[in-house]
Amino acid sequence: MTDDTDRDQADYAGEWGGVDVQFGEQGARLTYGSYLQLGRLLSAQTLESDPPAHDELLFITIHQVYELWFQQLLHEATAARDAMLSARSGQTDDNRLWWAQHLLGRMHVVERVLVQQVDVLETMTPQDFLQFRQKLAPASGFQSVQFRELEFLSGAKDPSFVQRFRGLTEAERDRLRRRLEEPTLWDAFVHVLDSKGLPTGSDAEITDAVRRAAHDRSRYADVWALAEALLQHDENAAAWRARHVVMVERMIGTKTGTGGSSGAEYLRSRLDLRYYPLLWELRSHL
């Protein structure tokens, strides 16, 4: 190898210790568009209205973005759960529990984005929505498999949803069944309590264990931080449901949903859902 070639490679390597990593267009290995698969991504917005309704693109884009965020939330929640489940009795698990807290904190930020996205959707007027709404039936947000997975993973498991969903592929049905069978975030939190030697045999014992952690944060700081992180996740989900139902009422009033549900009436029936009722009840006993 010539000295000139050595100098050229050194220039490219810079501080990378001689590894041939070429940044810039001269590398020609991967582009922004190919890495993000923008060709596929930006061609996935297929309008059903004819002639095209101007706001249908906005409607599709918003909901596709929701599904991307749901995918990310499932990714983070699964990892947070697994980190908590890996805690072992009598051992220091600072790194595992810190990682779970960190991922739950990331989820909180994403969940606030989900609520804020409703503001973008509400720039569409009811009249503009009605230009293409009839084309959506029988599709409905009720059929979002990832959203239901997130509820199951959070702790709100309801097997009836698997039977009530119409048009599910077998792969989607299998995903929901797996979520029904696997541990939830709450199961993982209870495992953490048990690994710390705290009682978990009944709801009363779990409540007492978390109360003890609340009053002895010098010893159980990680337990209390996880409890608060789960409660924040629950609160954010409640905020999204509340914002969603008001938006639906603003758009379609009391009309039935495109999937055949009672629309806003059904959504209002879900407003009292809590993933972790024991953590909410604890507030009355601190």
Q: Report the alpha-carbon distance of residue 149 to residue 138 in Å, rounded.
A: 21
Mean pLDDT of the chain: 88
Task: Assess contact for 165 and 88: CB atoms under 8 A.
Answer: no
Average pLDDT over residues 49-67: 96
pLDDT band at 190 (very low <50, low <70, confident <90, very high): very high
Pair of tokens at residue 204: 């009363």
Pair of tokens at residue 247: 């938006």
pLDDT band at 20 (very low <50, low <70, confident <90, very high): low
Pair of tokens at residue 118: 């409703």
- Residue with tokens 């509820």, as numbered in its chain: 151
Average pLDDT over residues 76-83: 98
Average pLDDT over residues 189-207: 96
Residue 4 confidence (pLDDT): 54
Q: Quick check: bond before 51 cis, omega within 30? A: yes
Which one is predicted more confidently, 250 or 194? 194
117-165 residue pLDDT tens: 999 999 999 999 999 988 887 667 778 999 999 999 999 999 988 887 7
Which one is predicted more confidently, 182 or 26? 182
Q: SS3 string of 161-203?
A: HHHHCCCCCHHHHHHHHHHHHCCCHHHHHHHHHHHCCCCCCCH
Q: Which of 107-111, 122-126, 237-241, 245-249 has the lowest mean pLDDT?
A: 245-249
Does the pLDDT value for residue 214 go beyond 70? yes
Average pLDDT over residues 195-199: 95
Task: Assess contact for 90 and 198: CB atoms under 8 A.
Answer: no
Q: Could you tell me how far CA 60 lies from the centroid of its own chain? A: 19
pTM: 0.86
Q: What is the CATH number of domain 50-283?
A: 1.20.58.480
DSSP state of 141: G
Radius of gyration over alpha carbons of the chain, in Å? 24
Q: Report the alpha-carbon distance of residue 159 to residue 177 in Å, rounded.
A: 8
Q: Quick check: bond before 138 cis, omega within 30? A: yes
Does the pLDDT value for residue 198 go beyond 90? yes
Average pLDDT over residues 19-40: 77
Does the pLDDT value for residue 13 go beyond 50? no
Does the pLDDT value for residue 21 go beyond 70? no
Which one is predicted more confidently, 106 or 93? 106
DSSP state of 145: H
**Sequential DSSP letters for 55-101:** THHHHHHHHHHHHHHHHHHHHHHHHHHHHHHT--TTS--HHHHHHHH
pLDDT band at 12 (very low <50, low <70, confident <90, very high): very low
Query: 223 burial class (0-12, 13-18, 19+ CB within 10 angstroms)?
Result: buried
pLDDT band at 265 (very low <50, low <70, confident <90, very high): confident
